[in-house]
Amino acid sequence: MIYVTRRERFSAAHKLYQPKWSKEQNEAVFGKCANENWHGHNFELFVTVKGEVDEETGFVADLKDLSKVIKTYAIELLDHRNINLDVPFMAGKMASTENLAKGIWQQIEEPLAALGCQLHSVRLAETENNSVEYLGES
Amino acid sequence: MIYVTRRERFSAAHKLYQPKWSKEQNEAVFGKCANENWHGHNFELFVTVKGEVDEETGFVADLKDLSKVIKTYAIELLDHRNINLDVPFMAGKMASTENLAKGIWQQIEEPLAALGCQLHSVRLAETENNSVEYLGES
Amino acid sequence: MIYVTRRERFSAAHKLYQPKWSKEQNEAVFGKCANENWHGHNFELFVTVKGEVDEETGFVADLKDLSKVIKTYAIELLDHRNINLDVPFMAGKMASTENLAKGIWQQIEEPLAALGCQLHSVRLAETENNSVEYLGES
Amino acid sequence: MIYVTRRERFSAAHKLYQPKWSKEQNEAVFGKCANENWHGHNFELFVTVKGEVDEETGFVADLKDLSKVIKTYAIELLDHRNINLDVPFMAGKMASTENLAKGIWQQIEEPLAALGCQLHSVRLAETENNSVEYLGES
Amino acid sequence: MIYVTRRERFSAAHKLYQPKWSKEQNEAVFGKCANENWHGHNFELFVTVKGEVDEETGFVADLKDLSKVIKTYAIELLDHRNINLDVPFMAGKMASTENLAKGIWQQIEEPLAALGCQLHSVRLAETENNSVEYLGES
Amino acid sequence: MIYVTRRERFSAAHKLYQPKWSKEQNEAVFGKCANENWHGHNFELFVTVKGEVDEETGFVADLKDLSKVIKTYAIELLDHRNINLDVPFMAGKMASTENLAKGIWQQIEEPLAALGCQLHSVRLAETENNSVEYLGES
């Protein structure tokens, strides 16, 4: 069993804003992240799959295929987008890094399985100081 | 003569959009950077000042003061903001990294001079692949 | 279940020196790390907590609070300090990265629990080549 | 129980080429990685061992010894070498990062045990985007 | 006047081997870099152009165009190649980083000028410790 | 003319403390950097030399020789040392990064000239946010 990790990047805008709350409550909880005119980040996404090494190729997964799935089902929907407004799989959810990691997991799990890859981890770094990881645990 | 560099960071939203042009022309020139709903980045700002070393302190500049000027005159106006909408010193300009570097130079040159520091360079990285540098040359 | 990681940094002096041993034995075991006049590092601390995502905020933990706890109970006691001489929670212990990671765990576990966060990992990098991780396992 | 990680680096040439296959099939599967005249990488190797902290030294493992084992049994055989042609422990295997991580595990597991260290993980990064990890699981 | 830098990456094999010399002399001068079976690196290439900011676009250079020129005239000829055997613009030259930086300058200077960009610097990093820069000075 | 840069690293303790001043004045000017019990950093040193490319070797400078000079005349005197107490070339000077960069220049300029290398720049980073550069200008 080997774990293979591919990094992809995207740049996006978002805000942390709970529509059920007043503007004051949003600012009290989310501070500058609640700025109504948005802010943004360069996100780094690390996707890890696990599996046996194929004897003929020496691969657990072809990284070209892995990259293509991540790009098709996640990056192309997120890069140079507004996470709150433009991303169907985030509709109706708070645009937090936690929810984004879970949403990306749901987007890519099946297409990766179709490649014969078992998804192990989605790690998402929002800045050099802040990151989250989702292992599919409920 | 010694050059001293301080790094500060900010996360902001922007779009590249020339209001004189049609939506089609904007998309043709700026591609996904013209997305009307914005995108964003983690910007890294490197400010370099130059000067003689003070014999008593061993400093060209006190980095605490240098950091405070950069934060007061640039970072606080930019961090978790929308560069097109929220930043007075960028009003009426294209929100490109080039213009942003020049704008930051104009914001901090005088307050740094008041500290006895001569501004040498403003370098601004938008992603790990793209950066600009302004040396005050016209 | 999501894992959230916050990085904080501190710069400190230390030496590896076992007071029960002779100077020669210390130098034989710890080499240049035993220099009596100290040396130091820029430490990078990665604290990971785990938990459920709150539906209203989209957060496992408010990173502002997480950062504040790490700063109050660890960074402020360590930054620009001498680990052997100045840090109460390291008194009487070898100032190794291993012991420092365990000491930081003990400092922050309860205050994080008071925030509703379950501490998962303390990872501490001493240089770009050397790091340790403590998961609370005895 | 503490986990201690040491990073070492090596630069090597390799190609992905299955000798049972035609040139065309190799190019179809491995793309530019199948270039017959080789290509190469700066590999980053992260070796993690685990154990109890020794009360007298404060160490799980002496990083000087850990580094020496990794250099003797892995780096010196790989650095500035051709993985397909020059490395005895890779003979007859596809020169993939997956197989290389497993091969390094087999090289260093026993010498580390002789130091009293239990090997926990071999992580190998081929580029800033691609890495694999082997935990000794079959 | 603003300086704009674009980073691109390539992975390649090479060896340092002066054909006029004996094998012994090559090993004496180039050490392990003379290994006849090649070794390789992940090269990082930083290309800097300079110019005035266009008032309508806010750009010195369109980074998409800049990237395309660098890819077409340098990266595609170098990536996953053997610098000694596969790269026409390096034929008959020692495959040193110094010569590679000069060769890349000669490859891209004219196509960049055709874009209206004045080439300022080609910086090439071979490892995290070693890099060279060429400013077109003779 | 090509510029060649070598990075070396050292970990050291220091404090910023002007002996002519009272403890209170030291704390007012240097803040936590004046801690009498020292603190420390992982310093990154970037040394740049310039010269013509030798036609037979393809080198401006043999990086093995360049590294050896930097290690002999700077790193071995600084690594795992106390800059205020242990380093002859810093005796009687404030242990600031500025003075350290100038001191390193004076240490290595002549031995590099003896190799046929002209020293161009000494850049010294104290943290990821703070660095200085000395170009030999008076």
pLDDT, tens digit, 9 for 90 and up, residues E93-137: 999 999 999 999 999 999 999 999 999 999 999 999 999 999 999
Please indicate whether, in this complex, the C-beta atoms of F2 and E133 are within 8 angstroms of each other: yes
Low-confidence ranges of chain D (pLDDT < 50): none
> What pLDDT was estimated at residue C108?
98
The Cα D107–Cα D136 span in angstroms is 12
pLDDT in tens, F104-131: 999 999 999 999 999 999 999 999 999 9
> What pLDDT was estimated at residue A138?
82
- The neighbours of chain D, by the rule of 3 or more Cβ pairs under 8 Å, are A, C, E
Q: Which of E72, D41, C4, D103 is nearest to A63 (CA)?
A: D41
List the CATH number of the domain containing A94: 3.30.479.10
Nearest by CB: E40 against D41, D85, D86: D41
pLDDT in tens, F74-103: 999 999 999 999 999 999 999 999 999 999
Is pLDDT above 90 for B76? yes
Q: Which of A114, A38, A130 is nearest to A72 (CA)?
A: A114
Name the one residue in this structure whose structure tokens are 């036609």: F55
Nearest by CB: E18 against F6, F7, F56: F56
How many independent structural domains does chain C possess? 1
Nearest by CB: B131 against E1, E5, E59: E5
Cβ neighbours for D95, distance < 8 A, ≥ 6 positions apart? A58, D14, D15, D16, D83, D84
Burial A16-48 (b: 16+ CB within 10 A, else e): bbbeebeeeebbebbeebbbebbbbbbbbbbbb
Nearest by CB: D42 against E32, E42, E85: E42
The Cα C62–Cα C86 span in angstroms is 30
Please indicate whether, in this complex, the C-beta atoms of E130 and F7 are within 8 angstroms of each other: yes
The Cα A68–Cα A86 span in angstroms is 21
User: Domain range holding F114?
Assistant: 2-134
What average pLDDT is seen over chain F?
A: 97
Residue from F30, F98, F99, F134 to probe the interface with B (highest B Cβ count within 10 Å)? F98
Q: Compute the average pLDDT of residues C60-70.
A: 96
| Structure ipTM | 0.96
Please indicate whether, in this complex, the C-beta atoms of B131 and E60 are within 8 angstroms of each other: no
Active-site residue numbers of E?
Answer: 33, 80, 126
The alpha carbon of residue B88 and the mean position of all alpha carbons in its chain are separated, in whole angstroms, by 13
Is pLDDT above 90 for C93? yes
Q: Are chains B and C in touch, 3+ Cβ pairs below 8 Å? A: no
A33 among known catalytic residues: yes
Q: Three-state SS for E51?
A: strand
Question: Distance from F61 to chain B by nearest Cα, in Å?
Answer: 25
Within 8 A of D86 by CB-CB distance, chain E residues are 35, 37
Is pLDDT above 90 for B10? yes
pLDDT in tens, B54-63: 999 999 999 9
* Gap between the terminal Cα atoms of chain D: 23
List, in sequence order, every beta strand (DSSP E) within F28-76: 39-51
> What pLDDT was estimated at residue C138?
82
pLDDT in tens, E81-104: 999 999 999 999 999 999 999 999
Is pLDDT above 90 for A110? yes
The answer to whether F23 touches F82, Cβ cutoff 8 Å, is: no
Q: Compute the average pLDDT of residues C97-106.
A: 98
Cβ neighbours for F121, distance < 8 A, ≥ 6 positions apart? F5, F46, F47, F48, F133, F134, F135
C80 among known catalytic residues: yes
What average pLDDT is seen over chain E?
A: 97
The pLDDT confidence band at residue E15, using thresholds 50, 70 and 90, is very high
The pLDDT confidence band at residue B138, using thresholds 50, 70 and 90, is confident
B80 among known catalytic residues: yes
The answer to whether F53 touches F22, Cβ cutoff 8 Å, is: no
Residue A92 backbone dihedrals phi, psi, to 5 degrees? 80, 5
pLDDT in tens, B86-107: 999 999 999 999 999 999 999 9
Please indicate whether, in this complex, the C-beta atoms of D56 and C94 are within 8 angstroms of each other: yes
The Cα A22–Cα A16 span in angstroms is 13
Is pLDDT above 90 for F138? no
The answer to whether B71 touches B35, Cβ cutoff 8 Å, is: no
